[in-house]
Amino acid sequence: KLQGLKTIAVTTNGINLTRLLPRLKEAGLNAINISLDTLIPAKFEFIVRRKGTNFTLLTKFSLLYLQVNCVVMRGLNEDELLDFVDFTKDLPLDVRFIEYMPFDGKYSCFEILRGVE
């Protein structure tokens, strides 16, 4: 209801999205960013630390702008990149492959962004 507001988006791992989507759409949601780092159910559960997967969600939200963010991690999912491309090539969504950037725990991500050395 805010004047001039064009996009209401949510970023999620998708675990509860099917349940919450009707209320979110009522509130004006029109874009979803889904974090999906693997297409392998056991790896997905390891990464998000809970049961469930969300890849089937990608075919259910055709009325919304959908973007998938995949953080590429050496030794965990770098061997799945072509599988992601194949799985999503015919779906109405954008896929972004994001480089994993580990932090050594010495600084927070905000301090790194501010340039603390």
Instruction: State pLDDT tens for residues 17-56.
Output: 878 888 888 888 888 888 888 888 888 888 878 776 655 5
Tally: H helices and E strands in the chain: 4, 4
DSSP string, 49-65: TSS---GGGGGT-TTSE
**Could you tell me where the beta strands, DSSP code E, fall in the chain?**
9-12, 31-35, 65-72, 94-99
Measured CA to CA, the distance from residue 44 to residue 50 in angstroms comes to 8
110, pLDDT greater than 60: no
pLDDT tens, 48-98? 787 766 555 565 665 678 888 898 888 889 999 999 888 888 888 888 998
**Gap between the Cα atoms of 108 and 5, Å rounded:** 32
Say what the alpha-carbon torsion angle 18, 53, 71, 112 is, to the nearest 10 degrees.
70
Q: What is the pLDDT, as a whole number, of residue 27?
A: 86
Predicted local confidence at residue 57, as pLDDT: 59
Split at pLDDT 50, 70, 90, the class of 103 is low
* Confidence (pTM): 0.70
